[in-house]
Structure 1
Amino acid sequence: AAFHRVSDLYGAISESVLDASLPKLKAALYKPSLLILDDFGIGEMTPVAAQVLLDVADRRMRSGSLLITSQYPSEKWHD
């Protein structure tokens, strides 16, 4: 299993784009049998981070489990 706070992951994604290590980061997110993304909805998600997380979620649907936690108010889900 691997655990990532999503706000920290946004920074890691931005850094990996800049230093050309994004494929390595994505591979690390694909690898564990369980990926836990904590505090989803906290912090600012860039379009690049959104695409990376969508790719990871899509890939994990076929290869492993994904657990997402959030304290984001449900009233704001569709704002």
Structure 2
Amino acid sequence: MRVRILLTGIALGATVLAGGAATAQAAPATSETIASSTAAAAGRWVYDGSYSEAACYSLAASYAGPAYCTPNGSKYALYIWVED
């Protein structure tokens, strides 16, 4: 009885592994998909204000899109990317 359960478990495990390997192989992306995903979005960098260094980097990190800080006198200027 134990041998039968062991063999059933091995067979089931092999089936699951074979099924998982088959579903993990995705079809290659078409050139159309690649072209549309790499196209640059139209937009511009917008000045959002001057902050302390810590505040600027914190705001840039919390922004959902691209953002960066640059020194602006004794403060740091925050620029964010806005899509048109």
- TM-score range relative to shorter protein: under 0.3
Structure richer in helix, relative to its length: 1
Structure richer in strand, relative to its length: 2
**Computing the radius of gyration over CA atoms, which structure comes out larger, 1 or 2?**
2
More RCO (CA 8 Å, sep 6+): 1
TM-score (norm 1): 0.23
TM-score (norm 2): 0.22
